[in-house]
Structure 1
């Protein structure tokens, strides 16, 4: 599986990318603003646990879940290296959250579009809802249908990639030689599927004006322009309609 193959190099790729660092900083700040030491957090598609151990260092009890055996191996290695941090690890697909039984959580977190790897977002959200306590919050980072940077590819003649997110059946993506289907969702879809028992706390765009992570050389090639785009993105990222767009959107909701 593609994500297992990438697991051994995942942290190095992540650490070397300033755009990923920016996105992680934003998502962590928003998630932590709602957390309290002692809270129990369920992380979906936790990867190698980069966010899991960050939250645990703030006193959050984390259950890090992932379906990729390679990612689980990396998580367990970090768990052994940091026994003082409250991180539990479980190999579990977010499509099978019933395996968590009677466990309950104050927080749910999912970063970097892991939820875009399934056509069954409704099943994931139903499973999450069962596990989230009343008053609890979920913070999700998901890829929407409209990405300005991809549409700009028209200027270079990249017609297929410019509109690939609008394909109803999803788009083929590849990683480490493996192909899989990526599905794109809107914030409205998330809200509709969770229903009126969830209150919107915040919604913002990520990489709306700033480039997405795979354009990381932009930060060193055009540093002044990157800083300017970052400044303007922060001014409009929470505003309608821009908050629905971007390479990803960050949405936080509270269960009533």
Structure 2
């Protein structure tokens, strides 16, 4: 069962969520990279089941690229914000919504889907992905695609914070019982997953298509000052990351990684 606190926290954040990204160049960089990854592997005119859809930034992007999305989220505020966007952008024929937890996915009438997608570490709010995988299997076509954007256990930028004496952040991802997180006055645990765990929990029924690191050289988004004050350095780091994003160990040691699997 998903923790209640994250749902409350993200509902509270729904009114400012988009503005936070609009003001953070690293988040914009990450979103662009994620969309490039998805367009590379999602079939044209795909039907997508999106988990933890948030305010629908990805759903709107996919809809504008000719895809149909069933966007789900446990946070009522996020669903409300996305429904407003659907009206605003006249996307009723391309996006539908349902408030539900990804740990209790029903077999949706709109399925089975070509793609199941989860972005920006939404799955890191639970300690065990088994119930999510069970829900995915109920709703994914044979040879369908699963793309997850997940926070791994090793993030070089965070480990380097130990040099500044910030051991709490530097080693938080290694805690077996999860790291304490705080958002909008709510406290909850965040759990971190290796790519090997994800492949294991999905099992032999799924094969790895691509593993891509996200913010291995580029700093995590809470270093939001970095591209503003050190623009040239940021651009150099982005170019370096582009060269090694599919290569071990940079495809799995980063702030996030993107993993795409295919059902056999």
Cα distance in 2 between the residues matched to 1:162 and 1:90: 37
1:81: Cα distance to partner?
1.3
Q: Which residue of 127, 138, 142 maps to 1:130? A: 138
Residue equivalent to 1:240: 248
Residue equivalent to 2:64: 57
Residue equivalent to 1:176: 184
Secondary structure at the aligned position of 1:30 is classed as helix
Q: How many residues align?
A: 256
Structure 1 residues not aligned, in runs of 5+? none
Cα distance in 2 between the residues matched to 1:161 and 1:33: 34
Residue equivalent to 2:223: 215
Residue equivalent to 1:31: 38
1:37: Cα distance to partner?
3.9
Residue equivalent to 1:71: 78
Residue equivalent to 1:21: 28
Task: Render the CA deviation track for 1:10-31: whole Å, top value 9, x for unaligned.
Answer: 0111122111111111111111
1:123: Cα distance to partner?
1.1
Q: Which residue of 53, 61, 76 maps to 1:46? A: 53
Secondary structure at the aligned position of 1:97 is classed as coil
Q: Which residue of 231, 239, 248 maps to 2:239? A: 231
Q: Map 1:197-216; keep pairs closer than 5 Å.
A: 197-216=205-224
Cα distance in 2 between the residues matched to 1:154 and 1:34: 37
Cα distance in 2 between the residues matched to 1:10 and 1:18: 14
1:99: Cα distance to partner?
5.5
1:35: Cα distance to partner?
2.7
Using structure 2 for the length normalisation, give the TM-score. Answer: 0.94
1:101: Cα distance to partner?
5.6
Residue equivalent to 2:97: 89
Cα distance in 2 between the residues matched to 1:47 and 1:246: 22
Residue equivalent to 1:143: 151
Cα distance in 1 between the residues matched to 2:125 and 2:111: 25
1:125: Cα distance to partner?
1.5
